């Protein structure tokens, strides 16, 4: 068995186990609903295990998807990829989106994946937080937890992947950030000369290798629950009004717009013949579009729209402490 | 003033006047709400007049947009176009989507447009009906009205543009038609040898010219109200339950998926820097996504999903009459 084959199996095992761990923790966090599980087989090769929970005490809809698929990319689609060669591919990973019912609890997304195209192998993924109402403490907790996980591997990782996240989860046609961001990365092979290295680091990029990247992905993936769960715990009891619920439904529309217009994972899934219901489990349960909506100046809703801009959250913390 | 310049002005005037006529008729049909109007200017050149009506007696949301824009296409975007040359463009047209509140009244879309790229000029557009519950009479009325309008110009038009519509408004990732279709066409220059001609027609394609196409587009555009309004009139009074409303919200999700994932007009608008609120006024006011929704076997909802397949509606009529 060659190294690529071994890594593929270990990545798949890690993601499958991670789905179990995360689902158990989310059921415990919700306290009422349970996940239903759907196993599915993909025509072109492979399949997955989709778990969805609806109408819980905390989560209006929570989807956690594990998949392992292989086959051939559409040629035009494959040509855009900077790693590997040809159209033969393998992909395994976990993807989750949690939509709480209370508008004071943020929506969150995470995705971690391993891909092969021909002889090329890479990891991608990340996690980002989409609050409806601004809470600086929440944004700081989320980012600090991710930064700590990243720093164990390379102090250059967090700033780079935080910025990548801000750029990726930007809704161009709205000129709006999706939320407060997090970290995002793609095509990490561990073998590229342009991979982030700490200033003065004398390891060569090749020395780091894909095993180092796999360790890093496991570290960030394990930081997801500690990054999100405490925020959900401390906000879930906050009472809310119809007005705040209405604002949540409008903001959820932006989530739909991002996922259907821009999201690479969604397009990847739909174009490679993935299971539509598993791919679109990311869409919110109930959404409202109001023509030309603008919150009243000075309202909490207007403040929210100002708050969700790409910002250096961990420096906001320092500014607050001064 | 050259011919292209004159045609551009006449097309714009026709679409602007058509917006007035359609909005007046829709206000009268609704009977309660009025359109609000927003004039907007596009950074790159041109602008538009967006009219939206919300929370009416018949229409939960109705948007009718007129625009006239010019500038330069993104090079990669322009290269995909089979007509004209270079990146300089002009576009004018009308686009409308009506979302009734009663689930027994179909949603409808229409769009008619004139475009120029370099020295090339063409018309495109169409109209398609998206019922929530099946009514063969409605589908037949809609298609018969469109066929009559098309037949005045060429008996080959309706079958060709009906099929084009079935193909265009197909939601690939769902393997579902958006509704019962209608007609759709694009890149009609009147000068292409592959343009539809009646069997035995001895006009050359060049003889028909773009003036003939402009007449045809006016004919189909004027058929929109007689095709849709009688259906809305006869269904608006039907009482409905929460169950039927819930089904409507789920089906509206498919409308969102089509518009954001596939619709050329939406992508054209977002990519050419159009006004986002005017482009996305097509999105339904309230939408629900339920994971892996399947209506109960034998229910009206299950029948509906069977009904909305590309079908030869006018032959269904014959079959019924037999």
Low-confidence stretches of chain A (pLDDT beneath 50)? 199, 202-206, 321-322
Alpha helices in A236-299 (DSSP H): 242-261, 264-271, 276-279
The answer, yes or no, to whether ipTM is higher than 0.85 is yes
Q: Which residues of B touch A61 (CB under 8 A)?
A: 289, 291
Q: Which of B107, B292, B293, B294 to mutate to test the interface with A (most CBs of A within 10 A)?
A: B292
CA–CA separation, A218 vs B153, rounded Å? 65
Task: Give CA separation, B169 vs A111, A310, B180, B232, in Å.
Answer: 31, 37, 9, 21
Residue B174 sits at the chain A interface (C-beta within 8 Å): yes
Confidence check: pLDDT of B319 > 70? no
Q: How far is B277 from chain A (nearest CA, A)?
A: 6
Segment B33-45 shows an average pLDDT of: 93
DSSP state of A81: -
Contact A256 B261 (CB under 8 A): no
With 70 as the cut, is the pLDDT of residue B317 above it? no
C-alpha torsion sign, points B294, B296, B301, B305: positive
Q: How far is CA B236 from the centre of its chain?
A: 21
By Cβ distance, the residue of A38, A270, A290 closest to B292 is A38
Predicted TM-score (pTM) of the model is 0.92
CA of A271: which chain B residue's CA is closest?
Answer: B173
- How many Å apart are CA B123 and CA B91, to the nearest integer? 10
Q: Are A40 and A2 in contact (CB under 8 A)?
A: no
**pLDDT class for B135, splitting at 50, 70, 90?**
very high
Q: What is the pLDDT of residue B252?
A: 98
Q: How far is Cα A140 from Cα A317, in angstroms, rounded to an integer?
A: 7
Give per-residue pLDDT as tens, B260-285. Answer: 999 988 988 888 778 999 999 999 99
Active site residues of A: 109
* A249 chain-B contacts, CB cut-off 8 A: 286
Cβ count within 10 A of residue B59: 27
Q: One of B109, B141, B143, B192 is an active-site residue; which one?
A: B109
Q: CB of A74 within 8 Å of any CB in chain B? A: no
Inter-residue contact B254 to B176 (CB < 8 Å) = yes
Q: Assess contact for A124 and A113: CB atoms under 8 A.
A: yes
Segment A80-116, tens digit of pLDDT = 888 999 999 999 999 999 999 999 999 999 999 999 9
On whether the CB atoms of residues A246 and B255 are closer than 8 A, the answer is: no
Please name the residue that has the structure tokens 């019912």: A101
- Which residues on chain B are in Cβ contact (under 8 Å) with A256? 256, 260, 287
A218 φ, ψ to 5°? -65, -40
Residue labelled with tokens 């498919």: B254
For residues B135-165, one letter each, b for 16 or more C-beta atoms within 10 angstroms of the residue's C-beta and e for the rest, the string is: beebbbbbbebbbebbeebbebbbebbbebb
pLDDT of A249:
98
Query: Tell me, what's the pLDDT at B194?
Result: 55
In terms of C-beta density within 10 A (0-12 exposed, 13-18 middle, 19 or more buried), how is residue B87 classed?
middle
Rounded CA separation A189/A117 (Å): 12
Q: What confidence score (pLDDT) does residue B195 get?
A: 57
Q: How far apart are CA A174 and CA A176, in angstroms?
A: 5
Q: Are B70 and B11 in contact (CB under 8 A)?
A: no
Q: Locate the chain B residue with the closest alpha carbon to A51.
A: B291
Which tokens go with B124? 């495109």
When pLDDT is averaged across residues B137-150 and rounded to a whole number, the result is: 98
Edge to edge, the sheet with strand B59-72 lists B36-41, B46-54, B59-72, B88-100, B107-117, B120-130, B181-188
List the structure tokens of A103. 């508008």
A100: phi > 0 → left, psi -120 to 50 → alpha, else beta; which? beta
Place of tokens 């300089």: B88
Looking up tokens 């930007």 gives A170
Mean pLDDT of B112-135: 96
CB under 8 Å, gap of 24 or more: what pairs does B317-320 form? B317/B136, B317/B140, B317/B144, B320/B136
Mention every residue, 6+ apart, whose C-beta is less than 8 A from residue B64: B19, B22, B23, B26, B35, B50, B51, B52, B94, B95, B96
Residues of A in contact with B253 (CB under 8 A): 283
The residue of chain B nearest to residue A258, with distances taken between CA atoms, is B260
- Give the Å distances, CA to CA, from B132 to B30, B138, B142, B295: 19, 12, 15, 13
pLDDT band (50, 70, 90) for residue B94 = very high
Residue of B54, B249, B270 lying closest to A291 (CB–CB): B54
- Beta-strand ranges (E) seen in chain B are 36-41, 46-54, 59-72, 88-100, 107-117, 120-130, 170-171, 176-177, 181-188, 286-288
Burial class (CB in 10 A: 0-12, 13-18, 19+), B292: middle
Contact A169, A126 (CB under 8 A): no
pLDDT single digits (tens) A288-301:
999 999 999 999 99
Supply B164's token pair. 């084009």
Do B7 and B210 touch, CB atoms closer than 8 A? yes
In sequence order, what are the residues at sequence separation of 6 or more whose Cβ sits closer than 8 angstroms to the Cβ of residue B49?
B16, B19, B37, B38, B39, B40, B65, B66, B67
> Each residue of B164-206: pLDDT tens digit?
999 999 999 999 999 999 999 999 998 765 555 554 554 444 4
């Amino acid at each position: 068995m060659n190294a690529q084959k071994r890594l593929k199996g270990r990545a798949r095992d890690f993601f499958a186990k991670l789905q179990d761990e995360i689902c158990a923790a989310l059921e415990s966090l919700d306290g009422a609903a349970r996940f239903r599980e759907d196993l599915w087989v993909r025509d072109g090769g492979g399949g997955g295990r989709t778990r969805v929970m609806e109408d819980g005490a905390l989560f209006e809809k929570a989807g956690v998807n594990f998949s392992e698929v292989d086959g051939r990319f559409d040629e035009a689609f494959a040509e855009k990829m900077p790693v590997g060669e040809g159209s033969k591919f393998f992909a395994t990973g976990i993807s989750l989106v949690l939509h709480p019912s209370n508008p004071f609890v943020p929506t969150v997304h995470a995705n971690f994946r391993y891909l092969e195209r021909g002889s090329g192998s890479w990891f991608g993924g990340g996690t980002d937080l989409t609050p409806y109402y601004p809470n600086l403490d929440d944004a700081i907790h989320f980012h600090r937890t991710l930064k700590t996980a990243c720093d164990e591997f390379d102090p250059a990782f967090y700033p780079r992947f935080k910025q990548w996240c801000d750029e990726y989860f930007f809704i161009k046609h709205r000129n709006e950030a999706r939320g407060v961001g997090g970290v995002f990365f793609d095509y990490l092979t561990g073998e590229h000369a342009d991979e982030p290295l700490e200033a003065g680091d004398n390891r060569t990029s090749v020395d780091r290798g894909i095993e180092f990247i796999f360790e890093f992905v496991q570290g960030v993936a394990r930081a997801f629950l500690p990054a999100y769960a405490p925020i959900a715990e401390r906000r879930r009891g906050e009472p809310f009004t119809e007005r705040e619920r209405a604002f949540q439904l409008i903001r959820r529309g932006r989530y739909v717009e991002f996922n259907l217009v821009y999201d690479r994972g969604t397009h990847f899934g739909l174009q490679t013949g993935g299971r539509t219901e598993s791919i679109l489990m990311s869409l919110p349960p109930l959404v409202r579009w109001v023509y030309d909506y603008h919150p009243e100046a000075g309202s909490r809703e207007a403040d929210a729209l100002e708050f969700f801009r790409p910002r250096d959250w961990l420096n906001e913390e320092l500014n607050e402490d001064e």
